[in-house]
């Protein structure tokens, strides 16, 4: 029996995986989707009054040329692009979002405590590895 690649879910990641497999010449793949439509959490529906409902947030963050070009190729003018700038107010200062990538804006002693806490948590986890997500 030939091996088959099964893609679980026809959301953006599943559709992207299928597209890339196709690009690479694979034909032994199949998408399995529980819903009767594609899109996953990026699906939208119009109700009887013409209002569009979004299942989930339709947000994509990318700095990868391949991905950006693919979205442009497949969606054309069917999407809107917005530049986002978010900040967190903490310790009497604004820190750019995402917070975890910008702790350098905190006071030096707080950055030190954060890094030391991360190292301590990592070392503690070596002695007591997590067996599951529960």
Read off the pLDDT of residues 4-58 as tens digits, 9 standing for 90 and up. Answer: 999 999 988 999 999 999 999 999 999 999 998 888 888 888 899 999 888 876 6
What's residue 53's pLDDT?
87
Indicate the domain borders of the chain.
Answer: 5-75, 87-127
Cβ-contact 92, 101 below 8 angstroms: no
pLDDT band for 76, please (50, 70, 90 cuts).
confident
- Residue 30 has φ and ψ, to the nearest 5°, of -150, 140
Distance CA 107, CA 94 (A): 12
Q: pLDDT-based confidence at 1, cuts 50/70/90? A: low
| Strand-pair partners of 94 | 89
Q: Which H helix or E strand runs over 113?
A: helix 108-127
Q: What is the 3-state secondary structure (H, E, C) of 55-96?
A: CCCCCCCCCCHHHHHHHHHHHCCCCCCCCCCCEEEECCEEEE
Q: Which residue has the higher pLDDT, 41 or 96?
A: 96
Checking if the pLDDT of 59 tops 80, the result is: no
Asked if residue 109 has pLDDT above 90, the reply is yes
Residue 11 CB: number of other CB atoms within 10 A?
Answer: 19
Q: Is 0.75 topped by the overall pTM?
A: no
The set of residues, in sequence order, having a beta carbon less than 8 Å from that of 45 and lying 6+ positions away, is 52, 53, 55
Q: CB–CB of 28/15 below 8 Å?
A: no
Burial class (CB in 10 A: 0-12, 13-18, 19+), 70: middle
pLDDT tens digits for range 112-121: 999 999 898 8
């Amino acid at each position: 029996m030939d091996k088959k690649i099964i893609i679980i879910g026809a959301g953006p990641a599943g559709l992207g995986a299928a597209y890339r497999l196709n690009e690479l010449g694979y034909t032994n793949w199949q998408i399995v989707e529980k819903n009767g439509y594609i899109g996953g959490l990026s699906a939208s529906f119009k109700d009887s009054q013409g209002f569009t409902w979004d299942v989930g947030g339709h947000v994509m963050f990318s700095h990868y040329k391949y991905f950006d070009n693919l979205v442009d190729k497949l969606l054309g003018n069917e999407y809107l692009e917005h530049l986002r700038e978010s900040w967190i107010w903490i310790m009497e200062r604004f820190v750019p979002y995402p917070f975890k990538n910008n702790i350098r804006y905190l006071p030096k002693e707080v950055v030190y405590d954060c890094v030391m806490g991360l190292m301590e948590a990592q070392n503690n986890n070596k002695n007591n590895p997590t067996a599951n997500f529960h």
